Amino acid sequence: MLRTIGTGEVAPDLAAVRGRAKITLALAQFESGRRDEAFALLDGAEQEASGPGSATVRTLAAIQRSGLHARLGEWDAALAVMIMIRDAAAAVGPRAAAVVALNAGLARQLLGDVAGSAAELARAERIASAAGIDDIAAAATHNLGRLEFVRGDLSRSLDLMTRARDMSDTLPRAQVDLDRARVLIEAGLLDDAVPLLAESEAVARSDHLVHYVGEITLERARLALVLGDHRAALDLARTAARSFARHREPAWQTQAKLLGLRAELALGRGSAAAVRRAVDLADGPAAASGVRAAAQLLAAEALADAGEVEESARRLAGVPSVARLAFPDRLHRYLVAVTVAAARGDRPAVRRQLRKAVATLAAEQGRYSGLDSRTAVALHGRRLIEIDLDHAVGPSAVFDACERWRGVSYRLPRVNPIDDPMINRLLVELRQARLELRDGGPEPPILARIARLEAAVRSRDWEISGVAGRGDDHRAVARPIRFAEARSALSRRRAGMISLFVYRGVLKSVTLSAAGGRVRELGGAADAAEHARRIAADVVALSRAVARLRPIIARSLARSMAALGHLLAPALPDTERVIILPTRVLASLPWRMLPQLAGRPVTVAPSATFWCRGLDAVPAAGRAMAAVAGPGLARAQEEAEAVARRWPAATTLSGAAATGANLAAALRDAAIVHVAAHGFHHDQSPLFSFVQLADGPVFAHDLQRCGVGAGHVVLSACEAGRARVRPGEESLGLTSALLACGVRSVVAAAAPVRDDLAARLMSEYHGLLSAGIDAAEALERSSRGDPDSRLFCNYGSDWAPAQSTAVAEA
């Protein structure tokens, strides 16, 4: 159009058209990295504005100028332009007025004026909605979602971003995916963030959006830092910084430099030069930016690590109070405070700051009602766990440090039932897709549909999780058990406990019993993880092997278990019964197959606190027992009926009665629930692990929605005892979902189990259990004579039925 009109004198109406064309071209030039040309075009557009429509052209040019200043991180300049043209924009029309409010809201947001931003964005949404301008209303709603991210309400943030996406399909895809990825990274949902960043980057590169490519690279650096890949984080941050420098975006360059310094210091490169750069950044470019607090915290940390303790303390005192910081910055503030207190030799202050940090983490987890969201947040405590262990000396201190951070979500009030129509609909569709897959439907399209539905459920779960949890007192966090209390409880049970943990790449343990405690270094965490990988492969292969191969695989499994047993032997207690607190690298193991544990009752617990609290809980008397038989197992009904005969007032659900709704009712109303059904562990999305019933799969995700009241659950199903463990030893899977919902004890297998074995074992197990013998001992007694039965284990706490329930079959 500009070529057609030319550059010479033209009629005023054509000059206005040429001005508008320059405004449009300015954005394209800016996106391709030609910043000077973009602003020159806007200057030219304003000069064109001398005739009819000139006020409109000047206003539109100013709006575009404000947007470009904002993209450069020059928020003061952007806001000043918006304030200056607010009245003129209103005269131009509702779109211009809404865009001015939108840009002003975003500028105030990045300048830290949260209340002002909320007011401007609400005004933009109101004007746009009233005028039917869907794209601006959607942009305002999306930016309100960004504002909730700044405030720390991640569920609300995702909810608003989803609403915005549904309002209009004109929002820039690269920006939408990038903003959602930011929220997910802060939430600890890294598996969900990775594909979003990849999709966002592909769109940005395809459309030559160089600024967004820089932002996405910076976010990938942040993701690498959270994952502990400090080398990759440093390389990506430097790449982003060079991109921002090349395109003259100083505010973004400051953010990239800050993140690069965090990675550099985490790599142990806290040289005098690096410390000086951190200080200069905090006092210079970052001082008047939205990352001022983060920069001051990094400078304080660098100074403390370099031994400049008092200067570090002085800077820390200048950082806003914890209540005014974003959640990761709150934990960072505690980390620096611990470092300063330790350098001063102030042990009480170290303990005090660590307790506050754990309380902050627990409070953040407690804001959410969903298990996925609660466990994901624990990722942000990883550095504090290490620094806590840095200062722990002796068995008591090391045990207390581990227990402070282990399975914090289990110390919160139980996961709430959530009833959401959208999730209900999505889960119905997901069940249908799983049934189609089971019945031999075309695999690739069904698997793709399943993946989409699972992603939609998780996204919606996060959106409503914070809302559902707001009515609860999320401060009601149980105090972690201390070393002396654990020893006392173990003494009463004639038990010993091994608490496993990874510290700076090394697998270590604390062993405790009535006799005392000891700390052991067991070997490299990577070596232990390799043992676990081999064992997991062997147990699955054994379950699927034809008869002639079973002895070969069984010998391989025995060798793998013996090797792991040799590694752990120095730390295993020599008591009558054993409580195991596993760590991430040793998740989902068939623990009872360790040769050293033969003949001893074993319980695998999410934490010592969970195990000890479970001992004090009184089983509900007089409640019924329910046995459920799923489809596709030749002896499932026989097993369920045999189990039910061991109890008075037992109910058997089989055939068409073995539905998800009836299982939910049994979990809610019965004291003991036994499920004989096919099971499947979904390692990538553990809350979509399921047991197969007559009307389709029942997912682990469903369990948090039905209000579980049972004290003991038996999952006589394939691999129902497997789990995926997140940092903070937060576990996800069928078994852990039940424990999080209030079940005290779950018996499940860590690998597929033969149908005939399960039928025989479970009848005998329930006979012993109904006679009043606790779950771990009943399982040990009933397992004698068949090595495969040791795939089953008791998870959670020790449990025995109430006296009025425990009446064995005559």
What's the pLDDT tens digit per position in 750-765? 888 888 888 899 999 9
DSSP state of 96: H
For residues 387 and 339, is the Cβ–Cβ distance under 8 A?
yes
Pick the residue with more confidence: 616 or 393? Answer: 393
Question: In terms of Cα–Cα distance, which of 409, 611, 596 is closest to 499?
Answer: 611
- In the block, tokens 């360059």 appear at 253
Task: Take residue 459 and report the two structure tokens written for it.
Answer: 């996204």
Angstrom distance (rounded) from CA 149 to CA 466: 12
What's the pLDDT tens digit per position in 338-361? 999 998 989 899 989 999 998 888
- In the block, tokens 């597929």 appear at 752
DSSP state of 476: -
pTM of the shown model: 0.80
Q: 539 pLDDT band (50/70/90 cuts)? A: confident
Average pLDDT over residues 455-479: 64
What's the pLDDT tens digit per position in 621-672? 557 899 999 998 888 999 999 999 999 889 999 999 999 899 989 998 999 9
DSSP state of 509: E
Query: What pLDDT does residue 524 have?
Result: 94
Q: Where are the domains of the chain?
A: 421-469, 483-612, 617-796
Angstrom distance (rounded) from CA 538 to CA 734: 22
Residue type, 114: V
Residue 810 reports pLDDT greater than 50: no
Residue type, 322: V
Question: In terms of Cα–Cα distance, which of 758, 679, 756 is closest to 718?
Answer: 679
Query: What pLDDT does residue 807 have?
Result: 47
Task: Take residue 228 and report the two structure tokens written for it.
Answer: 């502990």
Query: What pLDDT does residue 790 have?
Result: 92
DSSP string, 96-123: HHHHHHHHHHHHHHHTT-HHHHHHHHHH
Residues 6+ positions from 384 with CB-CB distance below 8 Å = 331, 334, 335, 338, 354, 357, 358, 361, 405
Angstrom distance (rounded) from CA 388 to CA 334: 11
Angstrom distance (rounded) from CA 311 to CA 316: 9
DSSP state of 356: H
Per the DSSP assignment, residues forming a β-bridge with 581 are 499
Average pLDDT over residues 793-804: 85
Q: 292 pLDDT band (50/70/90 cuts)? A: confident
What's the pLDDT tens digit per position in 762-775? 999 999 999 999 99
Residue 2 reports pLDDT greater than 70: no
Highest mean pLDDT among 155-169, 194-208, 485-499, 754-768: 485-499
Mean of per-residue pLDDT scores for the chain: 85
| Neighbour count for residue 808 (Cβ, 10 Å) | 16
Task: Take residue 595 and report the two structure tokens written for it.
Answer: 């040769």
Residue 372 reports pLDDT greater than 70: no
DSSP state of 481: P
Domain 617-796 falls under CATH 3.40.640.10: no
By mean pLDDT, which of 442-456, 650-664, 676-690 is the weakest? Answer: 676-690
For residues 123 and 86, is the Cβ–Cβ distance under 8 A?
no
Residue 18 reports pLDDT greater than 90: no
Query: What pLDDT does residue 471 have?
Result: 43
